[in-house]
Each structure stands twice: as C-alpha cells, then as structure tokens.
Amino acid sequence: MNRPDDILEMTVPALLAWQARKRPMSIALSAQSALGDRQRYGYAQLVKHMEAVAAGLLARGVCPGDRIAVFLDNDSGLEAILTALAQFRLGGVVAPLNTRYSDSELSHALELVDPVAIVARASDAARLRSFHARAQMLIVNGEGEGDPSASAWPRAADHLVYQLPPMPTDPDTPASLLFTSGTTARAKAVMHSHGTTVASGVCTSEAIGLRPGDLYQGGWPFFTSSGLNLGCASAWASGAGLVFENMLDNAGRLNLIASEQSTFYHGVPSVVYFMIEDYARGSFDVSSLRRIGYGGSAMPLEVVKKIDVRWPHVEQVQIYGMTESGPNGTILEPARVFDKFGSVGRAMPHCKVDIIGEDGQRLPQGERGEILLSGPAVAKGYFRNPEATKAGFAFGGIRTGDVGYLDPDGYLFFTDRLKDIINRGGLKIASIAVEEVLYRHPLVREAAVVAVPHKALGEDVGACIVPVDGQEIDIESLKAFCAENLADYECPRHWRVLDALPKNPMGKVLKANLREMFNDPAKT
C-alpha cells in the first residue's frame, strides 16, 4: 500500500507518521539550511525533527493554536519547512511571507496575520520588528545581532524535551495562511486546513503520477502555495521525496537534478524555458529525470517542442490551479500534450471543473465563461475578509477569475483572465491569443499583451516584447507578422521593447505594471 485508505481524513503530522512507519529510511526531504549546508532526511528523521522543533517552539512560549510568520527564502528552506511542520504538529498556523515584499506590503501582511513569533534571518530582524514589535523573533542563523528580545530558532540538535500535546486529528484544524500573488490587487491570506493541505497533495500526486521513491524537485518559493501544498504535500502523500531548491540559477537547477538524481522536475514555464536554454549551452546530466511538469501560465508550443527534442526520455505534464484551490484543478497528461495543446487538461482526481455565467449557472460544453474549481482541496476562505470570501468562494467552489471553455472530451481551454480581456470598441480580444502569435516570431523571447486606454474605443491593444538575446527587433516586421496571423482589430497598435518582463517570484507576469507603463511613458 502506497498510502493509507483514510488519507483524506488525515492531518499532515499523521500522514508523515504513517509514512515514517511504512518507509522510515526513504528520503522525505532534501533542503538547504540557513547555515549553508543541504540536509537530507528520511521519513523517520523528518518526523523526529518535526517533533523536536515543535518542542522548541513550546519552550519559547509558542502555544497550540498560535500563528507564526515565516520570513525566509529558499536558502533557508530547511528551517522554513520544519517550522511549518512544527506548527502543524502543535495545532498552530504558519503564515509564509514574501521576502520580496515592499514595506507597505509587509506591514499589511504582518498586521493581518498578527503572529506571536516571526522566523527570520538576523539581517531581517530589525525591519520586521519595525512593523510588528509584539512578535518574538526566532533567528535561524544567529542570535539577532544584539537584539536581547530575539531567540535562536530551535534546531533539532537542541534535544529539547518538552511534553508535546496530542497530535491534531481533526482535518478541519487550521494549518496555514497562504498569501495570493497580488498581481492585480492587495494580497489576501488564504486559509488552508490540514484536510485541504493533504487533499492538495493527494489530488496533485495522483494527477501528475508521483510514485514512492520519486525525488520531486521544484523551485517554488516557500511563501507560495506551491511550496507547502504542491511540493511538500504531493511528495509526502505519495511516499516520494521532496528536493526543495534553494536560490539557484538555471545551471544550478540542472546540477541539483544531477547531484540529487531527481526523477521529476516541476517549475513555472519561464523557469523551465530558461533551464532548457542553459541545458543546450552546457553539459548536464539529467538522465535521472522521467517527467517534467509546469503550470502557472501558458507554455508556448515552441518550448514544449524543445523539451521533447532535448530531453526525449522525459514525459511532460501541465497543471492548472490557484492558491485558493489547493493549487489543484486540471492536469494535461503526457499522452495529450501535443494533440490537446492549448488545453490545460481535464479535472484532477477528486476535483471538478465547471464553466459558469455571471449568475453562477453552469454553461454548456464549448461555451466560454468563468472557470469554477471545486474539490476537497479548496480553501476555507480569506482570513479576516468575509466580503472577499463571499464573493470568491461561491457556487460550490472557487471562482478563478479566468475565462475558458470545455471541449467534448472534458479538456479545459483557458482563454484569458477576466481582467486581461481587451474590449476594443465592443470587440473582445483575448490577450493570450495575441501573445501566442507573438511567441511564434523567431526574434521574440517573451511577450505580454495588455489593454491600453483609448479615447474613442475604450481600450486598444498594447504589446511588450523581450527580444532573443543579442538580437534587435524591428517593430514594423512584428506588425506585418501580426497582420498575417491576426484579425485587424486584434493587432497591437502600441509597442514596448523591454529587457525583461516584470514578474512576481512565481514567474507570473505583472500585467498591472505593464498597463502602468503604457499610461506613463516615463516608465518605459
């Protein structure tokens, strides 16, 4: 048996304890420590360290049910994950925070979460304390640079012997507050329970085909839902090991695949694209890989073809979901990557996909509408935001804000974000369709299309282009290329050539920044 029959009723610590009994020596986690070394734990070791850190938190005054914030990047991935597990073991809540937050964003997140403690590096303690002085600082790489109110993060080597409370058994026990990406508005904190966390791992691991003994590598930032719910939960639900990337360049990712003998790599399309490009320029051993997965945004067909040519032994899978849905949703399996290209797949196991109208009514096959995701991994709502919860968690699932349709085989085709559909004089234009054409141009490395205000038409089409390295691009040739492949009204009238597209840490393009750029020429 690869997993318990009642897995969807389990808490995260209970699942790990079961795996520790079933496969105690199998690798459960490989992650870099704040002290600079990469640690590898079998399942039995991981449970032991989880309990030791939980005891250490108790010794530092953290109580069951308390909220702890984690302000660490993946170079301290070991401490970040063990803090989350320790909180899960205590029945507390972990809130991973974006280490790239601006001051206003960080202040908002800390005020919302109101943690009793913050786990951070010594160099960040003063900044964090300036926004939330009430929290105890737990420092992962020192004693807080002279701050007498800071404590050392409780390493397992401390051998603390505090009596732990009983392991939580109710899957509805709150587990995490995971912030949305905030690409269109101020980030909201999504409430996940132990049950939704485990369900996310079950649904995704079944969908993508993770197996016991797999080594599942990914560079998801810890502060995203992909860190805990996609990476950790999927690996541990299937009895696989998680290879949690530290802060690496593309060559570093490829070298980590070789050194860890990773069998499954998962990343956002931009990361996979640049990694494939670096692979072609160097000498890297990826023979251990059997599958590669991607999701978060559309993968251009040219990149899918490059993977197939350069890594012919590797199968490809694509997923679609969001923080609020687990991130669960759909899976495009290897056998359909090419003949169903443009689709993000069918519903994952235990999940359901519907297309709804503005009134929430289910729309028939082939009709475009808003994508609604439902299933056991859908979160409990937004923390301290009942209005947003009521608006978003509706009609029996989570409203994605994405537009799409289902084909006769049940495959979902994502056509655009509701906010990214351009209305040019009453004619609706899907920005993603224009982007797909631009990606086919041989000198275009990246492209993003947004609405530009127009006095007469309301909106017009604006395109931002990143050329292939070392190449100059002629806008007139791009205009001609678009004219050959798009309807007249779909062709961009406004252009910007950039060195790089602005992105959040998960690689999603910050289209709000691009819209602002078109509105303010000084920001070009």
Q: What is the pLDDT of residues 42-87, one digit of tens each?
A: 999 999 999 999 999 999 999 999 999 999 999 999 999 999 999 9
If you average pLDDT over residues 487-511, what whole number do you get? 87
Question: Architecture of 425-523 per CATH?
Answer: 2-Layer Sandwich (3.30)
Residue 185, pLDDT score: 57
Query: Which residue intervals of the chain bear CATH 3.40.50.12780?
Result: 9-406
pLDDT tier, 102 (very low <50, low <70, confident <90, very high otherwise): confident
| Mean residue pLDDT across the chain | 91
Give me the pLDDT at residue 524, please.
43
pLDDT for the residue numbered 508: 78
Hey, is 451 helix, strand or coil?
Answer: strand
Phi, psi for residue 190 in degrees, rounded to 5: -90, 130
Q: pLDDT, tens digit, for every residue of 197-254? A: 999 999 999 999 999 999 999 988 999 889 999 999 999 999 999 999 999 999 999 9
Least confident range of 72-86, 284-298, 332-346, 412-426: 412-426
Confidence at residue 420, expressed as pLDDT on a 0 to 100 scale: 81
- Give the pLDDT confidence score for residue 485 in this predicted structure: 87
Instruction: Give rounded-to-5 percent helix, strand, coil for the chain.
Output: 35, 25, 40
Q: CA 300: distance to chain centroid?
A: 19
Cα 412 to Cα 370: distance, rounded to the nearest angstrom? 11
Q: Return the CATH architecture of domain 9-406.
A: 3-Layer(aba) Sandwich (3.40)
Amino acid identity of residue 378, one-letter, is V
Per-residue confidence (pLDDT) for residue 414, from 0 to 100: 84
The three-state secondary structure class of 335 is helix
Residue the block writes with tokens 């597990």: 85
Every domain range in the chain assigned CATH 3.30.300.30: 425-523
Question: Looking at residue 11, what is its pLDDT?
Answer: 98
Q: For residues 95 and 311, give the distance between their C-alpha atoms in angstroms, rounded to a whole number.
A: 37
DSSP 232-298: IHHHHHHT-EEEE--S--HHHHHHHHHHHT-SEEEE-HHHHHHHHHHHHHS----TT--EEEEESSP
Q: How confident is the model at residue 156 (pLDDT cuts 50, 70, 90)?
A: low
Q: What is the mean pLDDT of residues 115-127?
A: 96
Q: Retrieve residue 259's tokens.
A: 């050194």
Q: Sort residue 5 into left (φ over 0), alpha (ψ -120 to 50) or beta.
A: alpha
Q: Which residues pair with 295 in a beta bridge?
A: 319
- The span from the CA of 197 to the CA of 171, in Å, is 9
Task: Pick from 76-80, 160-164, 291-295 the range whose average pLDDT is largest.
Answer: 76-80
pLDDT computed for residue 504 by the predictor? 77
Amino acid identity at 381: G
| pLDDT at residue 171 greater than cutoff 70 | yes
What's phi and psi for 461, nearest 5 deg? -100, 125
**3-state SS track over 62-123:** CCCCCEEEEECCHHHHHHHHHHHHHHHHHCCEEEECCCCCCHHHHHHHHHHHCCCEEEECHH
Of 10, 89, 2, 97, the C-alpha closest to 48 is 89
> How is residue 7 written in tokens?
């897995």
Q: Report the DSSP beta bridge partners of residue 27.
A: 42
